[in-house]
Chain A
Amino acid sequence: MRMLQAIFAHPSGRIGGFIVGLYLLLAALGVLGLTPHNPLMQYRIDRLHAPDSTYWMGTDLFGRDVASRLMMGIGQSFIVAFFSVAFAALAGTVLGLAAAWFGRRWDGIVMRVMDVLLAFPAILLALLIVAVAGPGTWTSIVAIAIVYTPIFTRVVRGPALSLKAREFVDAARTFGSSSSYIVTRHLLLNLVAPLTVQITLALAWALLTEAGLSFLGLGTQPPAASLGLMLSDSRNLMETAPWLMIFPGLAIMISILGFNLLGDALRDIFDPRMRRAIA
């Protein structure tokens, strides 16, 4: 509750929080199928219909309602973003904590593997994984999760290493606390702040990567809707039906903006010293 208050007291937190909330609602409605029209239904008589009161954002080449498909696409993009970031955050946290706690050889192995993954530009690694596993929703989730795991591992390992050297960890050891208790209770709890910020920003990247993969035809497969795919399909009809491009384009942009604003606000809230530096 205090967290929510803090977010709403922060100007970018307010705007970002509002955008993210709105998208969550649209995504939920889209996933549940509570859209103005059936997103897969082809109203052939109304093909390439301009936006009006029946079709708020017009219809596409097959006569499908763009607004409904947009909601379905937002749902799809959010599912990919949330699952991939959840996996990456989980894997990164476990690996980062393990590297910091066990140190030495384990630290060396984990961090070298992460170095290898970080040596690839993100989209290239995602492309490679999708090429191996074949396009689809789950592949996108796995690909994005693998791409962002090294980032989470680094975000966790650094602070975990310095926390490990602090007196309260020594004290806990002297009192006979078990390793697992110290790692979860003393290390992990103190890492909640950097992890929350990183998760919010990673969601913005994940949405961007998902849209990019779908745009290249390697993400969500038709007839399901996804923002990147809708945008890619709009290319040849840009002049006759600009709404096919404008609405999905804006939808992607605003969703990323929302998470970026929220991430910035969270960073300010957790670390007031950074306030000016990143504003």
Chain B
Amino acid sequence: MTYLLRRLAVFPLVLIGVSIVVFVAIRMVPGDAITAMLGTEAGLLTPAQRESLAAYFGIDQPWFVQYGRWLAGLLHGNLGISSTYGKPVLEIILERFPLTLELALLSMIIALVVGVPAGVFAATHNEKLSDLGVRIAAMIGQSTPNFVLALLIIYTLSAGFGVLPAMGEFSPLWQDPLRNLGQLILPAITLGFAFAASVTRISRSAMLDVLSDDYVRTARSKGVSARGVIWRHALPNALIPVVTLSGIEFGYLLGGAVIVEQIYALPGLGRLVLDAILQRDYALVQGAVLFIAFNFMIVNLLVDLAYVALDPRIRLGEQ
């Protein structure tokens, strides 16, 4: 437990560190937010207009004042105003987050539904041809970058079937669930593919380990059916590393899949950050990156908690 307490104690420290890194980094970007927002028209601003805009976005102050203000705002749930959208940053992030969350969940479901049975199958057919087939497929899956797969999927659909993935205006789940699923299924398959491959590899190896354990042999000798041994006795224990891996991958996906969102024209968090960086929208980059890092840290902490909960033998404090 001491390990988890230590993790919790360090959590705010790391978060402050993250905020400083983001804050300093974004201010080192050449060019200023006003020029980025107005483009060539920024040249038409009078010095007074420029100053008043800088004061409105708070970028006329020294950096430590800006950081202090931002941090104070943060504690009140105020992440500032986006210079590109003219709206509160938190509002924009929360508009984009449901898509990213849904996409991450769908990808994880695909990965688990495909990966766990594939891993169990390979483990129970160890060293047979079918095991080799699963292992090769998993290795290839793990080595396929999601943007290569996305393009391959789009190409196959358009060249083979004359259809294009549903793009255009994105419809949220609660407005039109069917259309929403239609828009998200291909991106989810794209992201779930390599994820499934990792799940397959780890479930296979965990299953192989567990199957050679004494208690499995005991269950077998007591006459429990092969299926019962695999699904009731071995699998629950083999799932521990799968939970860890899935949690970490899920945390990554919550950060938004920058490239996949770009290819499928999805307005998720990843694209929001990319666009904000390109637009030099300071407040938005800061807020979004901090939000993503916060989620990532929370998910990692939950994974650790799950790890302890699933396997009471683990004394993380001793490691």
Q: Which residues of A contact B (CB under 8 A)?
A: 12, 112-113, 115-117, 119-124, 127-129, 131-132, 134, 204, 208, 211-212, 215-216, 228, 231, 234-235, 238-239, 242, 245, 249, 252-254, 256-257, 260-261, 276-279
Contacts and interface: CB of A to CB of B under 8 A. Distances in A.
Contacts of B135: 279
Contacts of B166: none
B142 interface: yes
B155 A245 contact: yes
21 contacts: A112-B14, A116-B18, A120-B292, A124-B256, A127-B277, A128-B285, A128-B289, A131-B25, A132-B28, A134-B30, A208-B145, A216-B274, A228-B147, A234-B151, A238-B154, A238-B159, A249-B148, A249-B151, A253-B148, A277-B208, A277-B209
Interface string B276-319: 01100000010001001100110000000000000000000000
Contacts of A121: 251-252, 255, 292-293, 296
Contacts of A127: 258, 273-274, 277
Interface string B1-39: 000000000100111011001100110111000000000
The 6 A-B residue pairs with the shortest CB-CB distance, nearest first, are A116-B17, A121-B255, A257-B143, A131-B277, A249-B148, A256-B143
A119 B296 contact: yes
B205 A279 contact: yes
Given A228-B147, A245-B151, 13 more contacts: A112-B17, A115-B17, A120-B293, A120-B296, A121-B252, A121-B292, A127-B258, A212-B145, A212-B258, A215-B259, A276-B205, A277-B205, A277-B208
Contacts of A128: 22, 25-26, 277, 285, 289
A117 B29 CA distance: 19
A256 B258 CA distance: 20
A279 B126 CA distance: 11
Contacts of B145: 208, 211-212, 252-253, 256
B139 interface: yes
B144 interface: yes
B152 interface: yes
Contacts of B201: 278
B66 interface: no
A84 B74 CA distance: 35
A114 B204 CA distance: 31
Contacts of A129: 25
B226 to A, nearest CB: 20
Interface in B35-55: none
Contacts of B13: 112
A131 B14 CA distance: 22
Contact of A124 (B140, B148, B151, B273): B273
A242 B139 contact: no
Contact of B259 (A12, A112, A212, A245): A212
A201 to B, nearest CB: 11
B154 A116 contact: no
Nearest to A277: B205
A120 B289 contact: yes
Which of B26, B154, B155, B208 has the most C-beta atoms of chain A within 10 angstroms of its own C-beta? B155
A215 B14 contact: no
The dominant DSSP class at the A interface is helix
Interface residues of B, number: 51
Nearest to A129: B25
A212 B145 CA distance: 9
Contacts of A235: 151, 263
Contacts of B152: 245, 249
B218 interface: no
Contacts of A228: 147
A213 to B, nearest CB: 10
Given A120-B18, A128-B277, A253 B151 contact: no
B148 A116 contact: no
Contacts of B124: none
Contacts of A208: 145
Contacts of B10: 112, 115
B199 to A, nearest CB: 14
B277 A238 contact: no
Contacts of A256: 143-145
A260 B139 contact: yes
A252 B259 contact: no
A254 to B, nearest CB: 8
A145 to B, nearest CB: 16
A245 B159 CA distance: 13
A138 B133 CA distance: 40
B234 to A, nearest CB: 15
B139 A261 contact: yes
B61 interface: no
Contacts of A238: 151, 154-155, 158-159
B262 interface: yes
